[in-house]
């Protein structure tokens, strides 16, 4: 299976699981709050029916708290990420180096405003923003890399920029954070990020970037930006954040195509139990 197809499948499956769970919770919440007609099938309504049958009222309150708490958590996490990106954009605008920004945009993007160069001693290369993303590069990065390595980094980030990867990552990351009791989602998000990084490397190579330049730039950024990278709390797509070892292995040996995507057993079991237990409880009602 190609990396592009893996990426689409991973995104689709995670989004479907997140969407189904939140939709079921939403239907249950609206029925509870506003008395709307019950849905034909709702796992939370089924649970409540079973709870009432056995007079386990405490469990009913716990379930309601979990459902409404999930939506409060969803709002909190979404706002937190959006404010984090807004604050980062504001800081980047203050640090912007106008001359270098204009020069690199003219060289690589025909004058469009895709790149922003900021005055910062740490080497930074990332794509930031959800609806109007920008490629953020620092003066520290420009001083660290040679011309070919810089081009490799820009082409890599160009892939994230044109595909709005920060927005896609935000959607999955928020869902995985809010639905923490389904750990399979965290695994899915990490695998999705990995496939996007591999595709970005592949895109850069297709744009006539050499494997040597891409690998050299990756090694330099890993060495010099490790501490700075750990302090970023906003959602972004970064050149040197994910699957470093495997990406380097692929650059050294392009014939290597296999990446272990085996699902962690504990995460899979816990996620199955989340819905499997509900299905088991549903059987006595049907019989």
* Domain that includes residue 256, residue range: 3-286
| pTM, entire model | 0.81
**Which among 168, 128, 131 is positioned nearest to 14, based on CA atoms?**
168
Q: Range with the lowest mean pLDDT among 53-62, 71-80, 104-113, 116-125?
A: 53-62
Burial category of 67 from C-beta neighbours within 10 Å (exposed 0-12, middle 13-18, buried 19 and up): middle
In this model, does residue 280 exceed pLDDT 60? Answer: no
Buried b or exposed e, range 192-228, using 16+ CB within 10 angstroms: bbbbbbbbbbbbbbeeebebebbbbbbebbbebbeee
- pLDDT for 279 equals 47
Least confident among 40-49, 191-200, 236-245: 236-245
State yes or no: pLDDT of 266 exceeds 80.
no
Domain count for the chain, please give it.
Answer: 1
pLDDT tens per residue across span 184-204: 999 999 999 989 999 999 999
pLDDT (tens digit, 9 = 90+) per residue, 121-162? 989 899 998 888 999 999 999 999 999 999 999 999 999 999
| Mean pLDDT to the nearest integer, 235-253 | 64
């Amino acid at each position: 299976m190609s990396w592009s197809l893996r990426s689409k499948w991973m995104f689709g499956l995670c989004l479907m699981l997140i969407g189904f769970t939140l939709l079921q919770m939403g239907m249950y919440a609206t029925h509870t709050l506003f008395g709307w007609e019950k849905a034909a099938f709702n796992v939370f309504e089924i649970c409540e029916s079973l709870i009432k049958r056995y007079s386990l009222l405490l469990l009913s309150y716990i379930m309601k708290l979990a459902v409404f708490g999930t939506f409060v958590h969803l709002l909190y996490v979404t706002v937190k990420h959006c404010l984090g990106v807004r604050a980062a954009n504001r800081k980047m605008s203050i640090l912007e180096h106008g001359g270098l920004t204009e020069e690199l945009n003219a060289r690589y993007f025909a004058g469009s405003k895709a790149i922003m160069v900021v005055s910062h001693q740490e080497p930074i290369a990332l794509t930031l923003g959800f609806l109007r993303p920008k490629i953020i590069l620092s003066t520290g990065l420009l001083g660290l890399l040679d011309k070919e390595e810089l081009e490799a980094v820009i082409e890599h980030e160009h892939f994230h920029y044109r595909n709005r990867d920060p927005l896609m990552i935000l959607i999955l990351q928020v869902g995985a954070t809010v639905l923490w009791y389904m750990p399979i989602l965290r695994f899915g998000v990490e695998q999705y990020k990995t496939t996007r990084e591999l595709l970005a490397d592949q895109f850069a190579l297709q744009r006539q970037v050499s494997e040597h330049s891409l690998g050299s730039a990756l090694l330099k950024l890993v060495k010099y930006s490790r501490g700075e990278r750990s302090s970023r709390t906003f959602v972004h797509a970064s050149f040197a954040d994910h699957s470093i070892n495997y990406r380097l292995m692929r650059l050294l040996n392009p014939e290597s195509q296999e990446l272990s995507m085996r699902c962690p057993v504990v995460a899979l079991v816990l996620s199955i139990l989340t819905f499997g237990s509900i299905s088991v409880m549903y059987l006595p009602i049907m019989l």
